[in-house]
Chain A
């Protein structure tokens, strides 16, 4: 079946530090992959997506590359800001089945 495993949090970084949140998936065929972000008191918002192998999704300085050989979609940002503090969810969609990871809470300190 389809599933997503992401790095457990919480993650605490200082401002301007490099961020990586690991995400791996299990799926048959060719799923689409997503990163969502949830700010305090809000629903989930799409951060970026990739729909085929080797695609790189990017938005607001965040990037993730769809790696089919390692079934991974790790989220990275070169220099985090306090405003990036949120919960990040990796997700996949495969044949109308959408699955989310457990979420990783990121706190960025000034």
Chain B
């Protein structure tokens, strides 16, 4: 069974640009969550999508947005990039109902803003 796939693995962008990251969950998983990981702030929850609807949202500005498609694949978009957006962005998928079940993580996309 294929794991969670995130693309691209590495990305370099310039301040002010926008970026789109992609996450393909494990087959059959319908919940996809996004996290930002930085050395200073640790692992911070961005948002979660389930059946194409945002179910939970973390405390991030509106420049961070996401969506989920009917095949459960998810994209995350960051507009007007700032240097502080440089981070490892992790995606995690979970089964239909996450009862006593762990989340499965991808390897992440390392975004560098210059």
Contacts and interface: CB of A to CB of B under 8 A. Distances in A.
Given A96-B97, A98-B33, A89 B106 contact: no
Interface majority SS (helix, strand, loop, mixed), chain A: strand
Contact of A97 (B56, B92, B100): B56
A61 interface: no
B84 interface: no
A102 B43 contact: yes
Nearest to B90: A43
Interface majority SS (helix, strand, loop, mixed), chain B: strand
B107 interface: yes
A97 B50 CA distance: 12
Nearest to B102: A46
B66 interface: no
B107 A42 contact: yes
Interface in B1-59: 4, 6, 31, 33, 35, 42-43, 45, 55-56
Interface residues of A, number: 20
B101 interface: yes
A100 interface: yes
A81 interface: no
Contacts of B107: 41-43
B78 interface: no
Contacts of B92: 44
A-B residue pairs, 7 tightest by C-beta: A43-B105, A102-B42, A44-B105, A51-B100, A32-B100, A43-B107, A46-B102
Interface of A: 32, 34, 36, 41-46, 49, 51, 89, 93, 96-100, 102-103
